[in-house]
């Protein structure tokens, strides 16, 4: 079905994050948009015109686009409460998928999906885009080469500011527990968990604190105040990998932080620091043979580390070899850690992650 080694995708959910996918698809020769789907008719028409998608390939119903023989794969960018549904339909119709994070709403959904997936696996990636930041890819290579020796501790933060009272950010689905599952934790924390697993290995235990700072927000549809049901801030400590101690903070209330996801890895012989806001630079603190003590150097990341989530997705569908991609399994394990963080915060104690 795949012609000329070009993968034709159907995009479900045409809101904010779909722009990232549509913009990047237009830059990659091996992938193209063949169909789109949204329940918002205005958006469907607007994106349909913009992408040159004909009327009969614009869908309101997600199962129809997933089942359509005109698309080789799905990119799903819907709100969190629909991720499991889309993944389930893709497994049912054996259609490869790139699904956005967080993986599911809760562990129960994740466990049910995992049972289905194990019986009928499909090529699947989860939208953990930050591990594709060139500096993150390069850091991983340096760790594999033992540049800083054994990692002893890791400091991870993901801070944004839009939720701070100063900005009067309105109520939307991201504050509604029934649609989003969690707040900063699933939105930003899922990326922190993925980065930590990427660099240091599996989580073994966590101890967490979750806070909501802004209890009520104005719903732009009604002008009325609505209760915020999810976290604005989550921090946790963890033990992961080969006994690595981890310290994690995510918040939507950090004025001065725009989209600051940074990781510092402390090893026996040095330190590495990466930040998605400086995607092409890495801070390396190591001692070379000619130096008496470790010296901080900021290096430009070599261009070979510029691979992308979407180019890997196309290669996966075309049956080519892909390395270190964020898989279904990464989504599932990520959700397990999220579940344990919530349990720990609710129960006020360190808990195991199996």
Ligand X SMILES: NC(=O)c1ccc[n+]([C@@H]2O[C@H](COP(=O)([O-])OP(=O)(O)OC[C@H]3O[C@@H](n4cnc5c(N)ncnc54)[C@H](O)[C@@H]3O)[C@@H](O)[C@H]2O)c1
Chain residues binding ligand X by CB under 6 A are: 12-18, 37-40, 43, 62, 77-80, 82, 100-101, 127, 129, 187
How near is the Cβ of 223 to ligand X at its closest, in Å? 20
3-class SS of residue 164: coil
How near is the Cβ of 185 to ligand X at its closest, in Å? 11
272 Rama class: left (phi>0) / alpha (psi -120 to 50) / beta: beta
- C-beta closer to ligand X: residue 64 or 70: 64
Alpha carbons within 13 angstroms on the beta-carbon side of residue 331 total 28
Q: Which residue has the tokens 């919530």?
A: 342
- The dihedral sign for the CA sequence 222, 250, 183, 121: positive
- C-beta closer to ligand X: residue 15 or 294: 15
How near is the Cβ of 283 to ligand X at its closest, in Å? 23
- C-beta closer to ligand X: residue 34 or 241: 34
How near is the Cβ of 191 to ligand X at its closest, in Å? 7
Distance between CA atoms of 27 and 23, rounded to whole angstroms? 7
The backbone torsions φ and ψ at residue 35, rounded to the nearest 5 degrees and listed phi first, read -160, 160
The H or E element spanning position 275 is: strand 270-275
How near is the Cβ of 101 to ligand X at its closest, in Å? 6
Closest-by-Cβ residue to ligand X is 15
CB 212 within 8 A of CB 168: no
Beta bridge partners of 263: 156, 274
- C-beta closer to ligand X: residue 42 or 291: 42
- C-beta closer to ligand X: residue 104 or 271: 104
- C-beta closer to ligand X: residue 62 or 142: 62
How near is the Cβ of 300 to ligand X at its closest, in Å? 24
Which tokens sit at 226? 């609505």
């Amino acid at each position: 079905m795949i012609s000329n080694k070009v993968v034709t995708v159907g995009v479900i959910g045409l809101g904010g994050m779909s722009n990232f996918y549509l913009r990047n698809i237009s830059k990659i020769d091996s992938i193209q948009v063949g169909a789109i789907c949204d329940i918002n008719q205005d958006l469907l028409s607007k994106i349909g015109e913009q992408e040159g998608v004909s009327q009969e390939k614009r869908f309101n119903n997600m199962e129809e686009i997933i089942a359509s023989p005109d698309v080789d794969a799905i990119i799903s960018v819907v709100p969190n409460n629909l991720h499991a549904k889309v993944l389930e339909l893709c497994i049912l119709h054996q259609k490869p998928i790139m699904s956005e994070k967080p993986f599911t709403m809760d562990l129960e959904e994740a466990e049910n999906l995992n049972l289905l997936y194990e019986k009928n696996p499909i090529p699947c990636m989860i939208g953990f885009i930050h591990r594709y930041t060139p500096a993150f890819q390069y850091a991983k290579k340096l760790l594999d080469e033992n540049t800083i020796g054994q990692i002893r501790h890791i400091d991870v933060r993901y801070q944004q500011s839009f939720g701070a009272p100063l900005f009067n950010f309105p109520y939307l689905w991201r504050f509604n527990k029934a649609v989003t599952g969690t707040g900063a934790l699933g939105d930003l924390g899922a990326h922190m968990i993925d980065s930590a697993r990427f660099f240091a290995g599996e989580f073994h235990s966590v101890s967490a604190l979750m806070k909501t700072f802004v209890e009520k927000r104005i719903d732009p549809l009604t002008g009325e105040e609505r209760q915020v049901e999810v976290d604005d801030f989550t921090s946790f400590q963890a033990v992961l990998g080969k006994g690595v101690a981890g310290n994690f903070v995510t918040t939507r209330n950090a004025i001065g932080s725009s989209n600051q996801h940074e990781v510092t890895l402390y090893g026996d012989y040095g330190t590495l620091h990466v930040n998605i806001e400086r995607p092409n630079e890495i801070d390396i603190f190591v001692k070379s043979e000619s130096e008496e003590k470790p010296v901080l150097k900021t290096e430009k990341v070599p261009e070979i580390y510029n691979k992308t989530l979407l180019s890997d997705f196309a290669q996966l569908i075309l049956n080519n070899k892909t390395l270190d991609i964020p898989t279904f399994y990464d989504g599932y394990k990520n959700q397990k850690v999220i579940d344990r963080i919530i349990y720990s915060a609710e129960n006020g104690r360190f808990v195991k992650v199996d």
